[in-house]
Structure formats: C-alpha cells, structure tokens
Amino acid sequence: MMAEASIPVDLTNPGQVFACLGFLEAAEVLLGEARGGFDWRDTAEVRFRLGACGGENPVVRVLRFLDEATVTSFAPAGSSHSTDKWKIETRKDDSGAFPFRDSGPDVLPARLSDGTDKAIHIDYWGDQGQARRDRVKFWAGAGGYPGAGLARDALDLIRGRASDYAHDPFSLSAEQSSSFRFDWRRDYVPIDAGFSPNAHGDMVMRGYPIVELLAAIGLTNARPLRRERLEYGYGVAGLASDDLYDPIFLRAALGSEKVPVPGMPFRLFTMRLDWPGQEGQARCITDVTEETPPS
C-alpha cells in the first residue's frame, strides 16, 4: 500500500527543488519505498508529487517529524571537536566509518531525531575533494558556526507549526538571522540592494526554514552541477504519467545537464551566486534562468 501527496513548487527557486528531494529522502527514512517526481503537465501549477509506503500522507509525516525533532552532532572517537559551545550535544562515533575528514566543529554531521528509532542525518557540508562532489556550502565560517547549529535554529523556527503547512510547506516564513542560504527569497547583496538591513536595528529578514532544512536533507545523495565558483546548474525530472520515479532518477537529474533517461521530461536551470559580504566567504543565490538542455 502506498500513500501519495503533492505540494506546489517553484522550479526557479533552487532551495525548493532541493527541498523536494529532501522530502523524498526523509520519506524514505521514515516510511520506506519513497518515490517522487515534478509534475508540470498543468502549466498553471507546478507540483512535486511524493509517495511512500503505508497509508499515511508522506508530506504530513515528514513535517510531523520536523515538528518533534531535536538535533545532535557526532564526531569520531577521540576527536577534539564538538558543538557543545552552541549548546548542541556531540556524540562520539566509534564505528570507524566517519564520512569525511574531521576538520572542525562547523562540519560535524547533524542527526535529527524525534525520539523514536528513526533518524535523519545531514552531512553534505563535510564533503572533501576526494569525494569528487561539491559541498554546496554557501554559508560562511570555517571553524565557526556549525551546520548542526543552522539545522537546530531552523527547527526552532518551525517546531509546532510545520504540520499546519502541509498544503504549501514552502510558504512558511519566519524572522531568520542565519541560514544555509538555499532560499534566495531571504538573501541580498548590499551593494546591489543599495543598503544593508544589518545597519537598521528594526529590520529583520524573513526566511523560509522548512525550505532551508529540507534542502540540506535533499543534498544527502545528490548535488547540483558546479560549473564555476559562482555558477551551478541543476536539472529537474518531470513526470510523463502518473507513475512516480524511484529516488535514483531524481538524484541523477539534479546534477545532469542532459536528459538522464530517454523520454523523461526534463528541465535545466542555471543559478548564479554572489558575495553578500567579503569575497571568499558566504555566497548567496542572486539569479536563476532556465536553459535549453543539450540534445
């Protein structure tokens, strides 16, 4: 038995596309046998469709998990790094299977748990060169504010509210001072905007914490294609029928510039970034355009 649900998505918002994959990855952990796809057959309303094992609405299940989840980080046995400074418990992993080089508290993997035996890990930001895939780490702070802290902060903004937005989860907004920088509705480049909100004590930027958190989860097994430091491409796998795709097809499409499977509806986008502050530190998305995929 499989239950299905769908949500609206803006394909020109990379964070929302990544977050749809986050719904897919989370549903796979929480329910099993997750499948999905982007449906633009009705051009007036693009939606992401999600199915998973059981009778429970998979979007509601994922959001209910976020409503109840807490965050811990984990480090290799013997590591001197922890997120205790940010009031996030760090647990030592003595399995010998730590996913990447232990280079600082900012890259320690985060573990989201709702108190059951279900847990979701976020660790995309720790990938190194030997992994042969880009980290897509847009926030600043090598050795500084950790990814686990950003995940905790996002959860704090949505806790008890997420399930109420099951009809349109990417519309939930909140005053947000920092983020993974995946949803470009919050970000700005001061020199382009003509002013900096940081200079005005009564001005606080509103962000989209469900997008940010699920986008981070969405990069568990997929990456957009880095073309250069300030430009990425990302692909979107569309549905040709009511049959949903296994996760591997959506993951492959995200980093592809060509149709990954013959006959699959496919759209390609380019996202460009800039430096909101000092060059070489944080990056933010400034522009997204749709391209014609190569034949």
Q: What is the pLDDT of residue 132?
A: 67
Mean pLDDT of 170-176: 93
Q: What is the pLDDT of residue 51?
A: 98
Instruction: Work out the mean pLDDT of the chain and round it to a whole number.
Output: 89
Q: What is the DSSP letter of 293?
A: P
Of the chain, the end-to-end C-alpha distance in Å amounts to: 38
Q: Of 26, 58, 53, 31, which is closest to residue 219 (Cα–Cα)?
A: 26
Q: What is the pLDDT of residue 193?
A: 44
Q: Is the pLDDT of residue 127 over 80?
A: no
Q: Which two tokens stand for residue 126?
A: 């720790």
Single-letter residue type at 198: N
Sheet holding 110-113, edge to edge: 90-93, 70-76, 110-113, 119-122
Query: Among 144-153, 178-187, 201-210, 283-292, whose mean pLDDT is lowest?
Result: 201-210
Domain boundaries, the chain: 2-291
Q: What is the pLDDT of residue 240?
A: 93
Q: What is the pLDDT of residue 21?
A: 98
Write down the residue that tokens 């990417």 correspond to: 170
Q: Is 111 exposed, middle or buried (0-12, 13-18, 19+ CB in 10 A)?
A: buried
Single-letter residue type at 169: P
CA angle 255, 29, 11 (to 5 degrees): 35
Q: 1 or 31: which carries more pLDDT confidence?
A: 31
Give the integer Cα–Cα distance in Å for 271 and 288.
Answer: 4
Q: Which two tokens stand for residue 224?
A: 């957009």
Give the integer Cα–Cα distance in Å for 5 and 165.
Answer: 13
Backbone angles phi, psi at 2, to 5 degrees: -130, 135
Q: Is 192 exposed, middle or buried (0-12, 13-18, 19+ CB in 10 A)?
A: exposed
Q: What is the pLDDT of residue 195?
A: 46
Q: 31 or 79: which carries more pLDDT confidence?
A: 31
Q: Residues 208, 187: contact at Cβ < 8 Å?
A: no
